[in-house]
Amino acid sequence: MINPLHNALHRGRSGELNRGLSRRQVRSLSRGLNLDISRVLNRYLAVLVLLFTGALGLTGCVTVTDNAAQPLRTTVVMSGDLSELPPTAMTYTWHPKFQKIITDKRLEPQQVLQHMQDVLKQSLQNKGYRWVEDPQLADFQVGFGVAMGTEMSDEQILAVTGLVAGLSTDGVNTKKYDKGTVVIALFKPTKIKGGGDEPIWRVLAQGFGNIKKMDELTENFDSLIASMVANMPSVNVAP
């Protein structure tokens, strides 16, 4: 793609450059301009990423994409307002209807469900939250969904979760890596009227995993869950 800034420079000074420099020198200078502009843009994008990372807990929708390694890249989308969590919130329970696992025959849904609950419990415990079985004792509810090894489209995911990450499969060996989606949502407690109807905050992540390498897949999955709840406020956790 030709840089607009480079175009402007080239149009404004083409006559001067061509009179004073050879064609080879002009091409060399053009490449140098593109490199300098790329460096500036990269620094600018790095600043934007830092700014967005600091604002993830705010109302609205934020997308963060990691493209460092094609098969391992992830896209995370968040929506809602974490400030709607009660300041004294410490306990939670599972949402009675929002625990969905969609997998193909290579994975056992019940095992995925149990693992998701265990990892999410641990991640929230690290933030200072405690799971309780009785909904009446919970300060908020947590729901989740996992889709892995399926042909579930982004349109279907949007219809179910209200979010879509749109992670591209470009450059990924789809015969080796499966596209997976995880969503986590927080709801007001059932003791509040209409508490379980609409989420107050939700986060959706998409990434790629090799189901044939379960140890690697599990490790990446566990790290992803921890990162998805990282923006939740910590309570009673020693620094």
110 within some domain: yes
On whether both 152 and 40 belong to a single domain, the answer is no
On whether both 128 and 38 belong to a single domain, the answer is no
Phi, psi of 62 (to 5 degrees): -125, 135
On whether both 157 and 121 belong to a single domain, the answer is yes
Q: Is the pTM of this model over 0.85?
A: no
Tell me the torsion sign for CA atoms 108, 109, 112, 117.
negative
233 within some domain: no
Tell me the torsion sign for CA atoms 146, 105, 112, 101.
positive
**What's the token pair of residue 63?**
């997308």
On whether both 197 and 130 belong to a single domain, the answer is yes
235 within some domain: no
Q: Residue 152 has what pLDDT?
A: 75
**What's the token pair of residue 29?**
């200078």
Burial letters 82-102, b for 16+ CB under 10 A, else e: beebeeebeebbbbeebeebb
Q: Residue 237 has what pLDDT?
A: 62
Domain boundary among 52, 73, 88: 52
On whether both 98 and 133 belong to a single domain, the answer is yes
On whether both 164 and 216 belong to a single domain, the answer is yes
Q: How many domains does the chain have?
A: 2
Question: How many CA atoms within 13 Å lie on the side-chain side of 51?
Answer: 6
On whether both 16 and 131 belong to a single domain, the answer is no
On whether both 18 and 84 belong to a single domain, the answer is no
237 within some domain: no
**What's the token pair of residue 28?**
């060399």
**How big is the chain by its Cα radius of gyration, in Å?**
23
State the residue range of the domain holding 104: 59-228
Q: Residue 175 has what pLDDT?
A: 83
Provide the total of helices (H) and of strands (E) in the chain, helices listed first: 5, 7
On whether both 39 and 77 belong to a single domain, the answer is no
| Pairing assessment for the beta strands 201-209 and 130-131 based on DSSP bridges | unpaired
On whether both 28 and 13 belong to a single domain, the answer is yes
On whether both 104 and 11 belong to a single domain, the answer is no
Q: Residue 4 has what pLDDT?
A: 40
152 within some domain: yes
Q: Residue 24 has what pLDDT?
A: 47
On whether both 127 and 196 belong to a single domain, the answer is yes
Per-residue pLDDT of the chain (239 residues; tens, 9 = 90+): 444 433 333 334 334 333 343 444 434 434 443 433 334 333 333 332 332 333 333 334 444 443 334 445 788 999 999 999 988 999 999 999 999 999 888 889 999 999 999 999 999 999 999 999 999 999 999 999 999 877 777 788 888 788 877 777 777 787 888 888 999 999 999 877 666 678 999 999 998 888 888 898 899 899 999 999 999 999 976 55
33 within some domain: yes
239 within some domain: no
155 within some domain: yes
Question: How many CA atoms within 13 Å lie on the side-chain side of 12?
Answer: 6
